[in-house]
Amino acid sequence: MAAPILETARLRLRPMVVADAPEVARLAGRREIADTMISIPHPFSEAQARDWIARQLSPEEPPPHLIFAISRRQDPGLVGAVALRDINYEHGQAELGFWIAVDLWGRGFAAEAAGAVVHHAFTALGLNRVCAHHMVRNPASGRVLAKIGMQREGVLRQRVRKWGVYEDVVMLAVLREDWRDRSTPAAGLV
């Protein structure tokens, strides 16, 4: 089962496919993105991008990961990716991750896409909790997560190692009951 197609006011989220590898390598391979993504190296070759995408595409039912390619509704070109990883249906939880092309930072695309995926997690998948992590030195990701209703749960000291340096990581989460009680609709879903 692949990720479904989700649409928001400005974005289209579709299943990521191996054919996206050249664009994923070009966009996600930028040092600015790779710097705070633990699963993306720098440089990031097309072959590595293919392998990364293939690892996310699981034949398991239900799938443990859903990975979406993000594009603008009027332009099919890739602008980023958003994913639910480690989906645990028994315990009703998953982890959210995302990246947006550097040239498109600051336009609200990350929050719009992430909000749509959280909406999908709670409404279509029936999950109860979605968490996310960001490195302490990447507060912009923290702002995106807060914007979609996530609450800070704590700091995991030296939780990950990126390029030989141990990094502190902030953990955030949103529960279905908190999300449902929010007064604003989820990311302009259409």
CATH code: domain of residue 162 = 3.40.630.30
* Domains of the chain: total: 1
Q: Which of 25-39, 51-65, 162-176 ranks highest by mean pLDDT?
A: 162-176
Domain of residue 111 covers 6-181
Tens of pLDDT along 99-133?
Answer: 999 999 999 999 999 999 999 999 999 999 999 99
Examine residue 94 and state whether it is found in any structural domain, yes or no: yes
Weakest mean pLDDT among 5-9, 58-62, 82-86: 58-62
- 83 lies in some domain: yes
Residue at 97 is within a domain: yes
Residue 189 placed within a domain: no
Judge whether 1 lies within some domain.
no
Among the residue ranges 63-67, 90-94, 171-175, 183-187, the one predicted with the least confidence is 183-187
Please report whether residue 163 resides in a domain. yes
* In-domain check, residue 117: yes
CA distances from 16 to 54, 66, 85, 147 (A): 9, 9, 13, 25
Residue 15, in any domain of the structure = yes
Characterise 9 by phi-psi region: left (phi > 0), alpha (psi -120 to 50), beta (else). alpha
Specify the pLDDT at position 18: 93
Q: Which of 56, 62, 121, 120 is nearest to 94 (CA)?
A: 121
Helix (H/G/I), strand (E/B), else coil: 79: strand
**pTM for the whole structure:** 0.91
